[in-house]
Each structure stands twice: as C-alpha cells, then as structure tokens.
Amino acid sequence: MSQVLKGKCALITGASSGIGEATARKLVAEGANVVLFARRAERIETLANELGEQALAVTGSVTSHADLLGASEQASNRFGGVDILINNAGIMPLSALAERRVEDWDRTIDVNIKGVLYAIDAVLPGMLARESGHVVNISSLAGLSVMPNTNVYACSKFAVRAISDGLRMESDGKVRVTTIYPGAVQTELAETIPESDLKRHLQDMFKGEAMSPAAIADAIFYALSQPPSVGVNDITISPPGMG
C-alpha cells in the first residue's frame, strides 16, 4: 500500500469500465478513496459495492457542469475533498470530415474537451485553496499526431494537451498535472465509432494488439505516487511497435 496515496480522494470520470475501472481498483488497493463518476449507474454502483467503504458511486455525465459540481460536493462530504482528478471519460467517433458527421463532432467536443474543463473546474478551487492536488488528464497518441479519419478526435486530444500544459503553468506548482498519451487499450472506446470497415478493423486491433487497462492504471499510479517535489508531466504508453 502506498503511504503517499493513503486516505487521498480521487474523482475518476468514466469509471464504469476500461481505464477508469482499472484505475479505481488500483488506487483503492493503494489506500486511496475513490469517487466513481459515470453515466451507467448500475455498473459504478456494483463496482463501489465491491470496493467497499473507500468507494462512492456518483451517476452523471461529464457534459453536465452541474453533475460534476455535485460529484465534487459529494466527495467533500464523504472524504473531505478531492485530492486527485482522473479525467478519463472520452469518446472516439472517428470519420472523415467529408462524411459531415456534425453531431459526432459536437459530441466529441462536449465530452472530450468541455467535459475535461468542467471536471477541472469542479475540483480546482479546493485544490488551490489547499495548495495541493494532482490532475491526470487522459489524452491519446492522437493528441500528438493526426492520421486520416481522426481529425476531430485528434483535435479534442490535442486540446487536452493544451489544457494540461496551461493548467500546469497557471497553478504555479500548487497542482501537479500529468497527461497520459495511450496507444490502443482494451476498452469500449472503439464501440463509439460509427459502423464502418474502420470500426471493425479497430475493434479487431483493440481485442488483439491492445494493452490491458491495468497498464494505464499502473502508469497513472506511478505519476501519483511520486513525492511532492516531483512532477511527472507526460507519459506516452503504447503496445510495442506503435507510436
């Protein structure tokens, strides 16, 4: 068990599966308390029951500023405040711009960009008041390099990088900020791609070549477990040969 994380409270968005669920399990095992935030109430309630008194399930959407403010308030009431934010919720409805999937573009911006900002806003005042906190934003290799059909998704993940870098500078050392850039991970992310040959190809890749969500949880734990004098700014993690 990590003495650095013992008793700390982590708010995890997208906690119902994949990286969010794996991170919740890892942090509880290391002594942290977790607030599981996601839309699928049954999943996070089942996970919270399994994890015990160190876990609290809060149902909501990252597209709702009010939902995230409420989650932060519940975290304060139960655990005394949010020490760690894991901005994990995201979607990946890939398509070429010529397909004109404007509704998908709007959803990507709402979840992947505005959701990150809303979550930060919900916890940042408390972190700054305590002069202590850690924000971990999950970007993607697509946040470092654009490929065909990734235009809007990549834009959203480049934005996560910009938000992280800006917050790190603005908080003047009071809040540590880590950005994780994963390659393919065995999650439900490919399910958000519109039906196409691209979706089927990526689903096959995610099942075969992709990393376990636990690998990303371990990377997150590494960043969180460093002493206060050490800031892990960026971690790129991918299957061998991808990057």
Reported as a single tens digit per residue, the pLDDT across 147-175 is 888 999 999 999 999 999 999 999 999 99
As a dihedral over the C-alpha atoms of residue 165, residue 167, residue 172, residue 177, rounded to 10 degrees, the angle is -70
- Flag whether 70 is in a domain: yes
Reported as a single tens digit per residue, the pLDDT across 16-50 is 999 999 999 999 999 999 999 999 999 999 999 99
- Flag whether 167 is in a domain: yes
Reported as a single tens digit per residue, the pLDDT across 66-109 is 999 999 999 999 999 999 999 999 998 999 999 999 999 999 99
- Flag whether 1 is in a domain: no
Whether 243 shows a pLDDT value over 60: the answer reads no
Q: Give the CB-side neighbour count of residue 167, counting CA atoms within 13 A.
A: 28
Q: β-strand 33-38 against 134-138: which pairing, if any?
A: unpaired
Reported as a single tens digit per residue, the pLDDT across 179-195 is 999 998 887 666 666 65
- Flag whether 3 is in a domain: no
Q: Is the pTM of this model over 0.85?
A: yes
- Flag whether 4 is in a domain: no
Instruction: Please choose, from the candidates 190, 215, 194, the residue with its C-alpha nearest in 3D space to the C-alpha of residue 205.
Output: 190
- Flag whether 131 is in a domain: yes
Catalytic residue among 118, 153, 181, 222: 153
- Strand-pairing partners, residue 75, are none
Q: How much is the average pLDDT of 207-236?
A: 92
CB 18 within 8 A of CB 213: yes
Please count the structural domains in the chain. Answer: 1
CATH number of the domain enclosing 114: 3.40.50.720
Residue 153 is a catalytic residue: yes
- Which range marks the domain in which residue 36 is found? 9-237
Whether 6 shows a pLDDT value over 70: the answer reads yes
- Flag whether 15 is in a domain: yes
